[in-house]
Amino acid sequence: MSSKRLPEIVKKILDSYEKVGGLNNTDGHNLPSKRSLDALCGQLLQFLFPGFHDERPIHKNELAETTELRLQELADRLQDLIGKSLSLRGADGGGDRARAAMMDFLDALPEIRALLRTDIEAAYEGDPAAASYEEIVLAYPFLEAVAVQRCAHALYGAGVPLLPRMMTEWAHARTGIDIHPGAQLGPYFFIDHGTGVVIGETCRIGHHVKLYHGVTLGARSFAKDESGQIVKGGKRHPDVGHNVTIYPNSTVLGGETVIGEGSTIGANVFLMHSVPAGSLVVYEEKQLRILEKDRRESGGAIK
């Protein structure tokens, strides 16, 4: 490219910055950066699963020193990102609120690890292909998505804006599993395979729930105000009771929809109303034909 054209291109780009809004953050809030977010999620996974996200194992003799060092690094980064997120709502980003939210979150990490242990147990018991707990930690994408979501949920519950959503979308991009930070996940939660799973903000999921790939726990049509704008908030997504299994590519919608305890939802089901405890919901296929390839009827099978 000729260097003589560069000033002209710069001018066009600057004109674009003036004319096209919504893409710029110049003279605006000092927002959390995607690069810092990537580092934060990596630090969290190292902290939650010590030795599994490192290039070498951590010896027990090193664990105390390593944990103390990592906790300080995590605290510094997290307080900075929480402060930047809080500034979106006019709060003092560098003040006491950011530090208090950071400390409460760090204090909750042992409880989050205990929940993740139950998720690993659920995967081991629920998947005959799982050879060991170590395989689940290292190779199962659902665990990474759920680990990040459980951390993001703690920050979401503390009223931290933006950052929790960035965290779960980071996990979504890596795993194909989209769990909103507002969703409430019970213990012993397992997503088999995982790709394409969507769990909405106001979902409440009981214990010992198993989902397969392609499951959507979503919202129905959205209410709108007098000006035609979507009304934010409210219960929009279904509740799933204890000991429920939902098979691949099923869709369950609506804030008033409740899947009763102990129910099984078969594959490819589309459901927008509640079902009682102990239900079996299946999609009955119609006009399914299985023909012998050598004796197919006229027009009955694809050659």
**pLDDT tens-digit profile, the chain (303 residues):** 557 788 888 888 878 877 776 555 555 567 888 899 999 999 999 989 987 877 777 777 878 888 888 899 999 999 999 999 998 776 555 578 999 999 999 999 999 999 999 999 999 999 999 999 999 999 999 999 999 999 999 999 999 999 999 999 999 999 999 999 999 999 999 999 999 999 999 999 999 999 999 999 999 977 777 777 777 778 999 999 999 999 999 999 999 999 999 999 999 999 999 999 999 999 887 777 777 877 655 555 444
The predicted pLDDT at position 241 comes to: 98
CA 86 and chain centroid, separation: 21
- Candidates 79, 76, 42, 75; CA nearest to 163 is 79
The predicted pLDDT at position 23 comes to: 56
Which ranges constitute the DSSP H helices of 87-206? 96-126, 133-139, 141-157, 163-175
- Candidates 164, 172, 178; CA nearest to 85 is 164
Domains in the chain with CATH codes: 30-176 (1.10.3130.10), 196-303 (2.160.10.10)
Helices 34-48 and 96-126, axial angle in degrees (round to 10): 60
Is 204 in contact with 240 (CB distance < 8 Å)? yes
The predicted pLDDT at position 18 comes to: 75
- Candidates 223, 238, 221; CA nearest to 183 is 238
DSSP one-letter code for 23: S
Is 81 in contact with 40 (CB distance < 8 Å)? yes
- pTM equals 0.85
DSSP one-letter code for 94: T
Is 119 in contact with 84 (CB distance < 8 Å)? no
DSSP 3-state of 170: helix
Percent helix / strand / coil, the chain, rounded to 5: 45, 10, 45
